Structure formats: structure tokens, C-alpha cells
Amino acid sequence: MNSPIKTLLACLALLALAGCAQNPVSGQQDFVMMSEAQEISFGRNADAEVRKQYGVYKSAALQEYVNSVGQQIAKKSHRPNLQYHFTVLDTPEVNAFALPGGYVYITRGILAYLNSEAELAAVLGHEIGHVTARHGVRQASAELAANIGLSITSILVPEINSAAGQNLSNILGGALFAGYGRDHELEADRLGAEYLARTGYDPHAMIEVIDVLKHQELLDAEIARQEGREPRHYHGLFATHPDNDTRLQQAVGESSQLAVANPTEGYAQFLRQIDGLTFNESSEQGVVRNNKFMHVELGIALSFPQDWRVQNLPDKLLAVSQQGDAVIQLKMDKQSSGTPAGYARRLAGFGSNSRIETLDINGLPAALVTTPAAMAGVIYLNQSAYIIQCGVKSRAAFTAHRNDMLDTIHSFHALSETERRQARPLAIRLITARAGDTYANLAQHSPLGKTAENQLRLINGNYPQGEPVPGQYVKIVE
């Protein structure tokens, strides 16, 4: 906001609504619209959304461990009396974030890359820093102020409140997950380092984690290019500063003066907890291997054209041609009724310029709808209808991709026993390195394929060079 009058109006509105609140970290007055009770209630509501969207990782032991580490740090924070909640989310995304009110999340995706309890504590400490400094609340309030400033003269207080509720959920979708900007991130790192030192961990774990995640991002971008998928970006967390950031080094250096003589590293404690952790996609999401999609629970498989980019999203599976001029999407309808041809006819609509054929696709009842510039396959399996929709940007694209689309539709089949084994989700397994073990050897029969050696180095904190140390734990992926 640049107009001083607008700013003044916004500030007046804020004062009228909630007044100022003392910041728990700085002790200074912040313009915030939420009382602590409102902050907690906001966090609780948003928590339900987060759990629904990502799913909670199903391991009571791991949840309990992460919670116990988090609670210890929270007790040493600037808001020790707030009730904190630490949750491991079931997603391969490499991320961690916090909501106002003490709700902290860490993904199973990031846990695979950590190698000690101190590193876990560093991630949680950083997120606790966002909570104690009320970054989420301050950010939400700043955005609300901007919105209210525009229409202050015309709205009544109750309406402001309901508008505020809506804005908060928009902000939840955007800014809170996207990170808080460089200054807030640095403040969270500084606070995190301080809490680590107070809890008995080495604050340098903060820098170690940033290092690991920077490498993860680089390597994943490379692998994603090879696999033709989107890289697994971590938004927010540590994304805004390099590990050699001088202000960060300074912040960690200051905290080191608070550190105890023999800080807890907790290598073995942490690694034993993540033995068996799901790696990459889980079985609920299905897996994509060499452009073949396999889903164990649904018992289906289909192959997309080799040079297309397959995206396995939480709510849909789609493949896009290299030129971006054609797309194939798989949908499922649990209500299959009548014949596949009847279903296809309903899909195409009456009076349309479409041709419907009844087919047998790999022993399954099916139908194919074609129009001059589109096609779709309908296949029935286990009471469900699977719809493979093919769309193009132009008639020329339809001609170019017609055979690829037909091949994809005809590749649909019930999962075989061999595929069932291939489609089982990967997991981290802990082994003890023996003399002579190298990442190249360990990578030889790895399901991670060509990039296995580098991926193993990375998850073990030995990227870009380094070999297993005999007698120590090494994570492999099986």
C-alpha cells in the first residue's frame, strides 16, 4: 500500500477491530487482527483442511517421535504455554510449514533426507520460530489491512469479520504455504537456532539441513527433467536464502554461544525411526514407472506414450504431449451402469458427431468414442468405469497423436502379479555398512534406476561425494 491515507484508514480499522498485540518474540506492539484465542481457532480450522488435503502419515510411532522432539523445543521457545501440534503428512513433497496457533507440519518427503534428530529439530525449530514470531498472523493481518483499506467507509464490522474469515482461507492457500519472504525466513532460522541451543542441540544443524535441501532441490530438478515430471519443489522452507548467507551464519554463530558442551546429535535414534518410511509415491496415489501407471488398490495399469510427461496429481492423472498440444486424462467413475457403449453415448451427448464402437480391451468390456477431433475410451473393471479422455488443441494435433492415444486406450489392463510387485511403494530401509560398501555397489539393484547412486548419497547426507562408513547406518531404498 503506498497511499498514506489508505494506510491510516487501514490502521484505524485494525485498531477498531482488534487493536495492537504484543509480539511474543520482540516484545513490541504488532498490528495484528487476531487475539491468541482467534489465532488458535484459525489454526484448528485450517488444520482440518491440511489433514484432509495431504493425509496424515500412518505410523503412530513416527508421529509420536516427531511430536516428542517438537514438544521439547516448543517448551524452550518464546511461547512455551501455547499448545503445539506436530504432524507428519503423507506426501512425497519435501516441505515443512506452520500455521498460526501452534500447528506444525513436516512431510514424510523431507524426513527421508534428514539424518539425525538434530536436523529434525532444526526443521521443527524453524517452523516453531514462525509460530512464536506470529509470522502467519502478521502476514494475514497485513493482507487484511490492505483489503479493508479499500472499502473501509462502506462496510459494517460483522461483515468485515466474515470477509476476514474468507480472506484467511485464501491466504492459507497462498502465502502461508508459499513461505513468508526472506526477512521472516531469516528470523525463523535465527529463532530456530536459538531454540536448538536451548534444547541441547547444535544450532549448526540448521545450516546442515539447508545444505541437504539445496542439494535435494538441484538433484531432483535433474531427475525430474530425465523423468519428464515436475520437480518436487519445497516452497517456503529455507528456500529464500543460500546456505552461505552471512546473516544466517551470524545468527547461528550467536546461538552457538548458548549451546551446551555435548549437544545431542541423535543419528541412530532418528534413523531407526524412519526405517521403513515410504519413499516417493505411496500406494494410494499409484506409481508411474517408465510412463506406465500402476495402481495396486484399484488393480489397474496403463501406459502413456514414452515421450509424454505424466503427472500423477492427488486428484487426477494426466499426460501431456511433448509439444503441449495434446493431453490424455484418466478418470474413474465408481458408478458404472449399463454397457460401456451406453456409458460412452451418455459421455458424448446426443446428436453429436461421434462414432461409438464396442471393444474388448485386454479382456475387459470397453467402448471407444471418436469425433473428428477427440476420442475417449470407456473400460469397465470391478464395477467401476475408467474413462480415458484424449483432448487436442487442433485437428492437426489430433492427426499427429491419434495413434498414440489409441495405444494408450488399448494398453489399459488389470494389474498382473508381476506388476503388483513392481507397483509396491518404495521404502527406506536401514542397513549397517560393511567394509568395501560403496554407493555405486548399493545402487546396483536399486529400484531408483539410473540416478540411484546420487540419490542414495543424497539421502545419506553424502552428496555430492562421500562413501558409507563401515559400521554406521546407511539408508537404502527398496
Nearer to Zn ion, 106 or 310 (CB): 106
Question: Are the CB atoms for 109 and 90 separated by under 8 Å?
Answer: no
For residue 185, the minimal CB distance to Zn ion (Å) is 5
For residue 102, the minimal CB distance to Zn ion (Å) is 15
For residue 63, the minimal CB distance to Zn ion (Å) is 22
Nearer to Zn ion, 177 or 267 (CB): 177
Residue span 220-259 as binding mask against Zn ion, x where in contact by CB under 5 A, dash where not: ----------------------------------------
For residue 196, the minimal CB distance to Zn ion (Å) is 15
Residue span 166-195 as binding mask against Zn ion, x where in contact by CB under 5 A, dash where not: -------------------x--x-------
User: Is residue 117 within a helix (H) or strand (E), and if so which, with residue range?
Assistant: helix 117-132
Within 10 angstroms of residue 467's Cβ, the number of other Cβ atoms is: 17
For residue 126, the minimal CB distance to Zn ion (Å) is 6
For residue 56, the minimal CB distance to Zn ion (Å) is 21
Nearer to Zn ion, 123 or 302 (CB): 123
How far is CA 208 from its chain centroid?
21
Question: Are the CB atoms for 425 and 287 separated by under 8 Å?
Answer: yes
In sequence order, the 6+-apart residues with CB closer than 8 A to the CB of 302 are: 292, 293, 330, 388, 408, 411, 412, 413
Nearer to Zn ion, 185 or 404 (CB): 185
Contacts of 4-8 spanning 24+ positions with Cβ under 8 A: 6/149, 6/150, 7/149
- Sheet with strand 355-361: strands edge to edge: 309-312, 317-320, 326-333, 384-392, 374-381, 364-371, 355-361
For residue 88, the minimal CB distance to Zn ion (Å) is 18
The footprint of Zn ion on this chain (CB under 5 A) covers a number of residues equal to 2
Nearer to Zn ion, 241 or 429 (CB): 241
Nearer to Zn ion, 239 or 406 (CB): 239
User: Grid coordinates in use for 148?
Assistant: 479493508
Counts for the chain of helices (H) and strands (E), in that order: 17, 19
Nearer to Zn ion, 188 or 251 (CB): 188
For residue 129, the minimal CB distance to Zn ion (Å) is 8
Nearer to Zn ion, 126 or 309 (CB): 126
Nearer to Zn ion, 108 or 190 (CB): 190
Residue 120 near Zn ion by CB under 5 A: no
Question: Are the CB atoms for 84 and 74 separated by under 8 Å?
Answer: yes
For residues 393 and 161, give the distance between their C-alpha atoms in angstroms, rounded to a whole number.
45
How far is CA 119 from its chain centroid?
19
Angstrom distances, CA of residue 276 to CA of 58, 287, 446: 12, 18, 15
For residue 296, the minimal CB distance to Zn ion (Å) is 35
Question: Are the CB atoms for 283 and 425 separated by under 8 Å?
Answer: yes
Smallest CA-to-CA distance from 329 within 319, 314, 315 is with: 319
Interface contacts to Zn ion, rule CB under 5 A: 185, 188
